[in-house]
Amino acid sequence: MKSNSLAHLLSQHNVGCLNFTISRLLDYLAYSDEQFALNNDDNLCRRIVHTAKWCLLHNSSHHYDEIFFDCTPDVSKIFSRQFSFSVLEGRVLLEVSDLHNYSQRILTGHFESTLFNAISDAIVLTEADCISRPGPRIVFCNDTFLEMTGYDRHEVLGRSPRFLQGDKTSTAITSAIRTSLSEWKSFKKTLTNFTKSGSPFEVELHISPVKDDTGWYSHWISVQRDVSGHKQVLDYIHKSNMILKTSKIGCWYFNFEHNYLFWDEQMKKIHQNTHAKTPANIEEWAALVATQHTDRFNMNVIRGMSGESNIDFEYAISTCEEDLRWLRIKAERMKADDENYQSLAGVCFDITDEKASLQAIENHRKIAEKKAKLALLGEVAAGVGHEINNPLCVVTTSIDLLELDLARGIRTQSHFESLTSRMKDACTRIAKIVDGLRNITSVTRESGELTSVNIVKCIKETIEMLTKLYALESITLTLVVDSPISEYEVHADYSGLQQILINLLSNAKHAVQELNDDRKVIQVVVRSHKSYCQLDVKDMGLGIKTDMRARLFEPFSTNKPVGEGSGLGLSISKNLIESYGGKISFTTGKNGTCFSCQFIKGRIHLAHKDEAVTQYRKDHVLVVEDDPAVGASIKALILAIGGECTLVENGADALSLIASTSDAEYDVILTDIKMPILDGVHFLQTIKHKKLAPKARKYIMTGDVFSISEESATHISTLANGILKKPLTLSDMTQVLSGLDAIA
């Protein structure tokens, strides 16, 4: 009887249990009066022979389930018979059971069934036969596989997984799969399959052969994962790669469900990580970030994963040269097919050069602002010289009168008091003028460091300084204030307000200086509103040209003759006003121009220092001053209020003197900022470095019209207790000897 009759016999439902005896030569089965040849071309027979040999070799019994398919166009049913082998007196006995429903036998318990169906990956079990077409047939699949493909279970069982393939499935990959199957090797491949509805999806296959105890390959088990979302991202990255390479933008993808991170080659270059191991997850990426930015990096990624905000932030990395390179990262969450967010996809680009450019622009802006302030200073210089000469005349005349009276022997107290009072008033006037110049050239505060400024007081002082200067060109300045002065506290800074007003007045002066005298009037109007104060500067000029109006606030925009304007005044004024939270606008016509500035109203309460105490210590003060006359006057003032004073003319001499005395010799060190040989800042730096006079209070003096920059003031604050502006007053010295900090 032919061997295929054995398979036919065993597949019949009307045939119950069967018992066979396998010949000693293992070449046939004896059943009742029939014999069945064990043909090597038949897989059923080959397995029987293989198992019988194993039982004889090990003198052991064995059993397995042999699968039979009952396929129709509509449904495939899977049955099995259990083949049980035993050894008796050197012969192998084979008992074949009734047919059973295989799906009820493959998972022997509820736990196994629940376990397989709970796994998020698809699991498929096929027979090991029929590697050639149609291919191994499916004998089991879990629920995830059915959800992934859209098929019902009865439509899948008994069919080869190849039925899921289509025209977009790579033939190279399917050929590689068949080769691995024929060699009984485990393998991992990604290919395109199709759902029941015809939609393509990418599936990552992990396929391995399953052996029984005898070493016979009985099944293939396949674990399948839908990676369509992942593949779409990778395809998008690949298609955009040429553009991204030229723009030096790196792409990355992070699946936070599986903690999987992908970097493209550009990401490695950006992070200078081309030879190192590529980060496999976010934690390894964070390890490349500069320490001071690690927390920021982790927090922003967590917020992006949770959907609290999109990822868009900057961070730095340390390069091999120990420099910081600045990177910017942007990303959005991506949904999987089940509408759940499970990944981030984004880009990363190097902004180091951009930051350097912005810093260069900022540096140029500061230089331009300083030049504009110098231009303002030059504009008021002539009037300031006149203003200083007048009170200076009072001082010199009073000194001449004192000398004359002393020569004549006139020494009445009332006469001396009258002369000294005049000199004090004149010196106060000069000091105010110098302070005004300091304000013009001072560094404007940032918007985060605003103070409470009375805008009317600032305007009055500025107009007072400029009135006589403008009068030289027959220009009249008028001020109109509509409310009590207490109503004009605004958020700003004094020097900035003064600079804004001088810029606007300078433009107005230019607009009216060629007009008849009766029209050479500039009106400054200040009005108080509920939440803001408004400053208007009006002229009676011919108006602004139409082609200039749209770009009036742009840098270097001017209609003044070459050499008379920087073109920065209105641009700087606009930036200052907006940094205060205000705004500027203008109206213009043939009868003149009006610039209107609004400043946010409100008093900022600042902490004030306690008034200087009237009882001060008799401290020993070391004065370092290169001008003998100034040094002598400071020494006289210190001695007059009960202190002790040692006077030297430069920092080098002072350093030698301190080094040769005890640390407690001097209670106060008072040094000028600019001196020959060793200036005040370097003198204090050397003292600090050498730890000389550690308990002495240290102050630095300056007579500069140009204010100390914010950067320099910050540096000085690390060396000294305070900055004193010349000319020094009795109040300044009492604060110094009382131990109070005096900050300019």
- Residue 740: what pLDDT? 59
Q: Three-state SS string across 612-655, please?
A: CCCCCCCCEEEEECCCHHHHHHHHHHHHHCCCEEEEECCHHHHH
Spatial CA neighbour of 579 closest among 447, 448, 443, 444 = 447
Q: Could you give the 3-state DSSP secondary structure of residue 190?
A: strand
pLDDT tens across 2-11, in order?
445 777 788 7
How many CB atoms are located within 10 Å of the residue 384 CB?
Answer: 21
- Residue 611: what pLDDT? 40
In percent, the amount of the chain with pLDDT more than 70 equals 79
Range of 106-110, 499-503, 628-632 with top mean pLDDT:
499-503
How are strands ordered across the β-sheet holding 697-702?
A: 644-648, 620-624, 668-672, 697-702, 722-725
Please name every residue paired with 334 in a beta bridge, in sequence order, or none if there are none: 343
Output the CATH code of domain 4-101. Answer: 3.30.450
Please name every residue paired with 480 in a beta bridge, in sequence order, or none if there are none: 525
Question: What is the mean predicted confidence (pLDDT) over 272-281?
Answer: 73
Query: Contact at 8 Å (CB) between 329 and 290?
Result: no
| Average per-residue pLDDT for the chain | 80
How many CB atoms are located within 10 Å of the residue 257 CB?
Answer: 12
- Residue 669: what pLDDT? 92
Q: Could you give the 3-state DSSP secondary structure of residue 463?
A: helix
In percent, the amount of the chain with pLDDT more than 90 equals 18
Spatial CA neighbour of 558 closest among 521, 519, 516, 503 = 503
Categorize the per-residue pLDDT at 604 as very low, low, confident or very high, splitting at 50, 70 and 90: very low
Categorize the per-residue pLDDT at 342 as very low, low, confident or very high, splitting at 50, 70 and 90: confident
Match 């089940």 to its residue by tokens.
Answer: 338
CA atoms within 13 A on the CB side of 144: 19
Q: In this model, does residue 557 exceed pLDDT 80?
A: no
524 or 390: which leads in pLDDT? 524
Q: What is the separation, in whole angstroms, between the first and last Cα of the chain?
A: 118
- Rounded Cα distance between 728 and 623, Å, is 13
- Residue 17: what pLDDT? 85
Categorize the per-residue pLDDT at 522 as very low, low, confident or very high, splitting at 50, 70 and 90: very high
- Rounded Cα distance between 356 and 490, Å, is 35
User: Looking at the domain 442-605, which fold is it?
Assistant: Heat Shock Protein 90 (3.30.565)
- Residue 586 sits at φ, ψ, to 5 deg, of -150, 155
- Residue 527: what pLDDT? 94
257 or 46: which leads in pLDDT? 46
- Residue 62: what pLDDT? 94
Categorize the per-residue pLDDT at 411 as very low, low, confident or very high, splitting at 50, 70 and 90: low
- Rounded Cα distance between 600 and 301, Å, is 38
Range of 132-136, 239-243, 329-333, 627-631 with top mean pLDDT:
329-333
- Rounded Cα distance between 145 and 102, Å, is 19
CA angle 434, 377, 556 (to 5 degrees): 150
- Residue 93: what pLDDT? 92
Q: In this model, does residue 383 exceed pLDDT 70?
A: no
- Rounded Cα distance between 728 and 670, Å, is 11
Sort strands 668-672 and 620-624 into parallel, antiparallel or unpaired.
Answer: parallel
**Which homologous superfamily is 231-350 in?**
PAS domain (3.30.450.20)
- Sequence ranges of the domains in the chain: 4-101, 107-226, 231-350, 355-434, 442-605, 620-737
5-13 long-range Cβ contacts below 8 angstroms, 24+ apart: 5/36, 6/36, 6/42, 6/44, 6/45, 7/42, 7/44, 7/68, 10/44, 10/66, 10/68, 10/81, 10/96, 11/68, 11/70, 11/79, 11/99, 13/99
How many CB atoms are located within 10 Å of the residue 559 CB?
Answer: 14
Question: What is the mean predicted confidence (pLDDT) over 566-588?
Answer: 85
739 or 441: which leads in pLDDT? 739
- Residue 403 sits at φ, ψ, to 5 deg, of -65, -40
Query: Contact at 8 Å (CB) between 127 and 139?
Result: yes
Q: In this model, does residue 19 exceed pLDDT 70?
A: yes
Q: In this model, does residue 23 exceed pLDDT 90?
A: no
- Residue 707: what pLDDT? 56
Report the b/e string of 65-85 with b at 16+ CB within 10 A.
bbbbbeeeeeebebbbbbbeb
Question: What is the mean predicted confidence (pLDDT) over 406-431?
Answer: 72
Categorize the per-residue pLDDT at 536 as very low, low, confident or very high, splitting at 50, 70 and 90: very high
620-737: same fold as 4-101?
no
pLDDT tens across 632-641, in order?
888 888 887 8
Query: Contact at 8 Å (CB) between 193 and 200?
Result: yes
- Residue 237: what pLDDT? 65
pLDDT tens across 74-112, in order?
666 788 889 999 998 888 999 999 888 876 565 554 555
Categorize the per-residue pLDDT at 566 as very low, low, confident or very high, splitting at 50, 70 and 90: low
Output the CATH code of domain 107-226. Answer: 3.30.450.20
Where is average pLDDT lowest: 373-382, 393-402, 411-420, 482-491?
Answer: 373-382
pLDDT tens across 649-707, in order?
988 999 999 888 887 788 999 999 888 888 889 999 999 988 898 889 999 988 765 55
pLDDT tens across 156-184, in order?
888 889 899 888 888 888 888 888 888 88
Query: Contact at 8 Å (CB) between 4 and 11?
Result: no
Categorize the per-residue pLDDT at 743 as very low, low, confident or very high, splitting at 50, 70 and 90: very low
- Rounded Cα distance between 490 and 436, Å, is 20
pLDDT tens across 25-82, in order?
788 888 766 778 887 778 888 899 999 999 999 999 999 988 888 766 666 678 888 9
Query: Contact at 8 Å (CB) between 267 and 288?
Result: no
Cα 364 vs. chain centroid, distance in angstroms? 24
Categorize the per-residue pLDDT at 547 as very low, low, confident or very high, splitting at 50, 70 and 90: confident
Where is average pLDDT lowest: 48-57, 293-302, 445-454?
Answer: 445-454
Range of 21-30, 141-150, 428-437, 613-622 with top mean pLDDT:
141-150
Report pTM: 0.39
Question: What is the mean predicted confidence (pLDDT) over 390-399?
Answer: 68
Q: In this model, does residue 708 exceed pLDDT 70?
A: no
Q: In this model, does residue 21 exceed pLDDT 80?
A: yes
- Residue 607: what pLDDT? 40
- Rounded Cα distance between 724 and 726, Å, is 7
Output the CATH code of domain 620-737. Answer: 3.40.50.2300
Q: Which DSSP state fits 561?
A: P
Cα dihedral value 555, 558, 561, 564, nearest 10: -50
Where is average pLDDT lowest: 340-344, 447-451, 562-566?
Answer: 562-566
DSSP symbols for 493-557: -HHHHHHHHHHHHHHHHHHHTTS-GGG-EEEEEEEE-SSEEEEEEE--S----HHHHTTTTSTT-
Cα 255 vs. chain centroid, distance in angstroms? 22
CA distances to 397, 400, 402, 416, 561 from 413, rounded to whole Å, are 18, 17, 12, 5, 58
